[in-house]
Amino acid sequence: MIVKEFRELVRDRRTVAMLIAMPLLLLVIFGYAANFYVSSVRAAVVGPQASRAAALLPSYFDVTLTDRSGDEAYAETLLRDSKVDVAFVTGRTPVLALVNGSNLFAAQSTVAALNKAGREVTTQVLFNPRLKTSWVMVPAIIGLILTFIGTIITSIGLVREREAGTLEQLAVMPIRPSQVILGKIAPYFLVAALDMVIVTVLGIALFGVPFRGNPFAFALGAGMFLFVVLGIGVFISTVSQTAGQAIQTAFFFLLPQILLSGMIFPLAAMAAGVRWIGYLLPLTYFTMISQGIMLRGAPITALWLPFVVLAGMAVVVFTGATLRFRRDLAPGNPASPPREQQTAAEAVNTA
């Protein structure tokens, strides 16, 4: 019995991967990424004494910008656009320190550091004044829910069709592969979009999370993100024969998104060797967009980078996955009916 079990286990590559890769992944993540302590924050110093004040700041503040002509409004813009985590406004006594509350852990440690300065600095937290965890989590949770639906539910739905053998039936019907793919994905897209609206409204109603930015920009970002996660779901369905395999594979995609996207552990606090994984994950960029638009009211121009990255991911992942799915759906060149007198060579040439 034991030998039989080992033989079965060795042939189940996904389970072997889970048994070996998952402990290693968790070890790496919790060893290098599980860190709430932010050792350094990006800082800007503006106003007439900007240069002198910047020189006096401790090393915790990584001064990336000094501007003697800048004022409080300019400092707020820098924070809104997430250029810095804290902005000092000089030319007044005490000096005003504006903190980006949407970057929760950086804000918490910054406020703690500023409190040590006593009366020399007045601290004001913007965008999340009471530093509520729920305010930064709700925009990220929206992304997580979209990921869950897009990745797991979509892949299960597609694999179920394969398991039941009905995918084979669809393949011989006079329906284009693109129509099959669209028909399979559209419901999940709509359900995920509806879920997104519900969670966003509930987040605002239950937790008082603000929605300061442009809803259309938010919808655009969510739409692009959905294409990425749906593409991942479609891809998983093409490498899975059963719903169990699809769930197992989706787990490999979900876990890093939860742990390394900056949703739980701040990206800035992660070791550089692990942080780059976070920058490969779509949820990282959606969280940047959702937090930026909802909490800070950031315009789309300030969030161009995550928008561009998500758009690129959407094109690459969704196109690649659907082409792969299309290949599975149409192994025998069904795209050229009628097939009177079709030879094998023609089939290969027109595929």
Partner 1 sequence: MNYSVRSATVRFGSTLALDDVTVEVPAGSVVAVVGGDGAGKSTLLRALAGEVRLESGTVEAPPRQRLGYLPASSGSWAALTVTQNIDFVAGIYGLAGDELTARRAELLDRASLTPAAGRLAAQLSGGMRRKLGFVMAIVHRPSLLILDEPSTGVDPVSRIDLWRLVSEAAASGTAVLMSTTYLDEAERAAHLVVLDSGRVLVQGSYDQVRAGFPGVVTQTSEPVREEWAWRRGRLRHEYWPGADPPPGAILAEPDLQDILIALSLARRHMVPS
- Residues at the contact surface with partner 1, assessed by CB under 8 A: 164-166, 168-169, 171-175, 331-334, 337-344, 347-348, 351
Nearer of residues 124 and 336 to partner 1, judged by Cβ = 336
The Cα–Cα gap between 251 and 206 comes to 29
Q: Report the alpha-carbon distance of residue 158 to residue 18 in Å, rounded.
A: 23
Q: How far is the CB of 156 from partner 1 (least distance, A)?
A: 13
Cβ atoms 254, 22 nearer than 8 A: no
- Collapsed DSSP state (helix, strand, coil) of residue 14: helix
Q: How far is the CB of 170 from partner 1 (least distance, A)?
A: 8
Packed helices 215-238 and 243-260: angle between N→C axes, nearest 10 degrees: 140
By beta-carbon proximity to partner 1, the closer residue of 120 and 346 is 346
Q: Which is nearer to partner 1, 118 or 338 (by Cβ)?
A: 338
Q: Between residues 180 and 247, which has the closer beta carbon with respect to partner 1? A: 180
Query: Least CB distance from residue 245 to partner 1, whole Å?
Result: 18
The answer for residues whose C-beta is within 8 angstroms of residue 5's C-beta and 6 or more apart is none
Paired tokens of 280: 């490969």
Rounded Cα distance, 254 and 229, in Å? 10
Is there a contact between 45 and 54 (Cβ–Cβ < 8 Å)?
yes
Tell the burial category of 75 from Cβ atoms under 10 Å away from its Cβ (0-12, 13-18, 19+): buried
Please check whether residue 113 is in contact with residue 60, taking contact to mean a CB–CB distance below 8 angstroms: yes
CB of 175 or CB of 271, closer to partner 1: 175
- Least Å distance, CB 160 to partner 1, is 9
Least distance from partner 1 to the Cβ atom of residue 152, Å: 18
**Residue 348: CB minimum distance to partner 1, A:** 6
Q: Residue 72: how many CA atoms within 13 Å on its side-chain side?
A: 10
CB of 167 vs partner 1, minimal distance in Å: 9
List the Cα angle 131/134/140 in 5-degree steps.
Answer: 115
Q: Please tell me whether residue 144 adopts helix, strand or coil conformation.
A: helix
